[in-house]
């Protein structure tokens, strides 16, 4: 049994790195439905359940130090890749569709929790609050909200179960609907020409600089300093039951990332791999505190996830008819929220390769708004639970 910090952290980093390496090198279809980050969580949770490490003072201290200090740095690096000025180039109709997806997902969480609240254990609103961050942004937003809401790591298993199982089925459904796009667009009387015009003017990859040692080192130092400043500033700000010290840290790092994304720093390609390394380590740390025995209500949570998606889909179809929206915009907006940058471009590419940049930019928009909207949904769920 492991009782000291170094082997504990080394094992977590080793498992995470091996999963990412295998996913990248093999490119197996298996990982499309069960991403490496989800496998990482449940693999580490299995080792935790088997008692590979003990929660000694040294391990507890290492866990708290790494998680609390890396989180703001990861949020900053994640948002640094999103230049909000490029997102505005998508046009009013595309942005309307994206926010329609976000709002309909929010409604899905609120309606579902209103109906099913009595069936969940106490404090379940925190788990769904964290999930809302993921389904309106990405895994990074989910981790940020988990920290802000002080959701126990043991309950994150529910969140990732829904985020993997329900999400995978929703992706398959949206991909299966691609051949019916013309029929759907004819029903809604949508104009598809706007997509071709946008795709010819958008390119999110050409301006990225190559990863190099000075850039990588500089970005690491900058991200860690943002974390330091965020943690120093947060205690000086007023707190409430909602705006806790941790919430202020998350908000500060988010705003710093958005602001820096409009500077030449957004062209630094080093931000993405660094953000991903930190994200995988944070998820592994969270999983290291979890236990399979604490997931007794897993089927109920998975069913709740499908209810959220069903409500989201119904609202989207109704408004597609009202505003004459096309199936491409609806599907990519939905996945930009629920799946993020890992899946929205894939669905966009299924329609036409030239449309992939639209999927990327819509997913980046999710990174920007996901934390704020997720925190808002969390507050509503908290009021329902009271």
Q: Map tokens 């609202």 to a residue.
A: 315
Q: Can you give the pTM of this predicted structure?
A: 0.78
**DSSP secondary structure of 321-361:** HHHT--HHHHHHHHHHHHTGGGTHHHHHHHH-GGGHHHHHH
238: left (phi over 0), alpha (psi -120 to 50) or beta: beta
Neighbouring-strand partners of residue 2: 53
Give the pLDDT score at 100.
Answer: 92
Q: Which residues of 280-307 are buried (b: 16+ CB within 10 A; e: fewer)?
A: bbbbbbbbbbbeeebbebeeebeebbeb
| Three-state SS at 191 | coil
Give the pLDDT score at 287.
Answer: 82
Smallest CA-to-CA distance from 309 within 117, 143, 172 is with 172
pLDDT tens column, 236-280: 998 876 677 888 888 898 889 888 888 888 888 888 889 889 988
Locate 66 and state its tokens.
Answer: 């790494």
Gap between the Cα atoms of 219 and 278, Å rounded? 13
Gap between the Cα atoms of 130 and 143, Å rounded? 7
Give the pLDDT score at 194.
Answer: 57
Give the pLDDT score at 32.
Answer: 67
Gap between the Cα atoms of 378 and 127, Å rounded? 9
**DSSP secondary structure of 242-288:** SS-HHHHHHHHHHHHHHHHTTSGGGG-TTHHHHHHHHHHHHHHHHHT
Give the residues of the chain that fall short of pLDDT 70: 32-33, 191-209, 241-242, 293-295, 342, 353-354
Q: How many CB atoms lie within 10 A of CB 30?
A: 11
Quick check: 108 and 170 in contact, CB under 8 A?
no
Residue 232: CB partners within 8 Å, gap ≥ 6? none
Gap between the Cα atoms of 77 and 257, Å rounded? 7
Give the pLDDT score at 193.
Answer: 60
Q: In angstroms, how far is CA 132 from the centroid of its own chain?
A: 9
């Amino acid at each position: 049994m492991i009782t000291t910090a170094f082997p504990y952290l080394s094992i977590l980093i080793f498992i995470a790195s091996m999963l990412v390496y295998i996913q990248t090198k093999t490119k197996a279809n298996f990982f499309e439905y069960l991403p490496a980050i989800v496998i990482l969580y449940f693999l580490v949770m299995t080792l935790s359940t088997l008692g590979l490490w003990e929660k000694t003072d040294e391990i507890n201290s290492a866990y708290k130090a790494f998680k609390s200090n890396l989180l703001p740095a990861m949020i900053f690096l994640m948002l640094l890749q999103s230049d909000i000025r490029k997102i505005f180039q998508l046009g009013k109709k595309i942005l309307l569709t994206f926010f329609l997806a976000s709002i309909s997902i929010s409604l899905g969480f609120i309606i579902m929790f209103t109906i099913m609240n009595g069936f969940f254990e106490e404090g379940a609103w925190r788990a769904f609050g964290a999930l809302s961050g993921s389904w309106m942004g990405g895994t990074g937003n989910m981790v940020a909200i988990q920290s802000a809401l002080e959701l126990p790591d043991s309950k994150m298993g529910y969140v990732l179960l829904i985020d993997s199982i329900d999400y995978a089925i929703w992706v398959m459904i949206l991909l299966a609907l691609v051949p019916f796009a013309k029929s759907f667009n004819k029903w809604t009387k949508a104009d598809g020409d706007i997509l071709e015009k946008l795709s010819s003017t958008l390119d999110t990859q050409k301006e990225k600089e190559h990863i190099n040692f000075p850039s990588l080192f500089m970005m690491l130092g900058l991200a860690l300093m943002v974390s330091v400043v965020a943690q120093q500033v947060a205690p000086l700000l007023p707190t409430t039951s909602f705006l806790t010290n941790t919430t202020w840290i998350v908000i500060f790092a988010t705003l710093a990332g958005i602001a820096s994304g409009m500077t030449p720093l957004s062209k630094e390609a080093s931000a993405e791999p660094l953000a991903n390394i930190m994200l995988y380590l944070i998820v592994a740390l969270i999983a290291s505190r979890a236990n399979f025995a604490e997931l007794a209500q897993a089927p109920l949570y998975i069913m709740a996830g499908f209810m959220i998606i069903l409500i989201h889909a119904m609202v989207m179809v109704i408004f597609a008819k009202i505003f004459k929206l096309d199936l491409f915009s609806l599907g990519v907006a939905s996945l930009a929220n629920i799946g993020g940058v890992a899946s929205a471009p894939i669905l966009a590419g299924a329609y036409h390769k030239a449309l992939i940049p639209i999927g990327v930019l819509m997913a980046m928009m999710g990174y920007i708004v996901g934390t704020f909207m997720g925190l808002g949904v969390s507050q509503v769920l908290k009021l329902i639970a009271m």
